[in-house]
Structure 1
Amino acid sequence: MTLITGAAGGIGAALARALAGTHDLILQGRDEGRLSALCSEVGGARPLVLDLTRPGTFGEAVAGLGRVTNVVHNAGVVELGAVAEQPPEVWTHTLAVNVVAPAALTRVLLPTVRAERGTLVFVNSGAGLRANPGWASYAASKFALRALADALRDEEAPHGVRVSTVYPGRTATPMQQKVRAQEGGEYDPADFIDPATVAATIRFVLDAPRDATLPDVSVRPGPRGA
């Protein structure tokens, strides 16, 4: 089974469609209706309604999932703002969803992922490589997510678990639409990477032969007119 967090839209939904038919899927989200519709669309995937801000509930929620081979940590939140302006609540929520939740969910799933010699994929961001003005809280969470993946990679190598980080550039998703609104700019999906392209990259990471690990993969927009 492959578990995808944040599966109800954007990159997560595109990945569910990309893996349908080749991977048995568990799709996590908070909107039960949207999850159920996507599960039906991709052919019998299993919904997992889970609030990522409540890590204390993770153990019970995943106890009945059975064999989980792969986990794609895709869920994330963003709220732009200068350090001088953002209240602690924004920082706390951003770090909770973008860092604490992946760490906590990984911890409870590691026994089965180890048994399956599976793969953990952390969907990061260009902001996990460089912090720009107005992006401090989000970039801090993504830098921390990179640190989590890097440490975990070496910790789990003896167990046969592969750990990869994928760094998408700006992608045509509802999150990007929100970001553009916060930046005061227009949103045209054609200006950004197609979510299906990022999904295809993640699928390549998951399906790579066992004699290779892809620690860090960046996905950037192609040249105009390509």
Structure 2
Amino acid sequence: MAQAIMKYEQQLAQAPMPPGKKKVLLAALKLFADKGFHATTTAKIAQQAGVSEGTIYKYFTSKEDLLMKLLSPMLNTIKDNFFSQLNNYEQLPALINFFVHDRSQFVIANYSFFKLLLQELLLGESSVVQLLQAILTGSTGILAKLASLQQRFSEINTQLTPIQIARIFIGPLIAYVFQEQMLPDSLITSQSNDLQLVQQQILAGLTAPQL
């Protein structure tokens, strides 16, 4: 569990790479998430990281290359490491309970990362869209892993497509997390059963008859 909710900064600290490269990645994550990818210059990244602009180009061929090397390791970790943990659950409600609690903690812990990812997807940043497509598709992609749940759990509606399953899992969870992180406290009143309601939404979506 500890590995599943490790922050990006913690993963980066353990990665075998030069300290200057780590500083650039962390500075880029903060600035891209706060200011946007296109509004952030390499000069600003260098200033934030406390390195020369030449250091950035020592490790990355371009600002886009920096963005890809920032996003790719985390997305591959989600695809390869997290989904293997779902094999430990033989009952669908227990699996959903784990998914909701683990992933809500993970997204909150790595909020800047997911804010950046969502921003660039909404803007249609082509390289980010292509990266996500590569993570989602193929025989070992996230959609294939979600589709395999239909074979393991007979109560999941067999008419659901993999992308529909992904939407059912992710939609309520992301709505909950971004509400918690983005809305002023005066506008939200979190309840102890909020995550339980998210679980119920996911279970209902997976098992409801197709209209």
Q: Normalized against structure 2, the TM-score is what?
A: 0.40
Higher strand share: 1
Q: Which protein has the larger Cα radius of gyration, Structure 1 or Structure 2?
A: 2
Which TM-score applies when normalising by structure 1? 0.38
Name whichever structure is richer in helix by fraction.
2
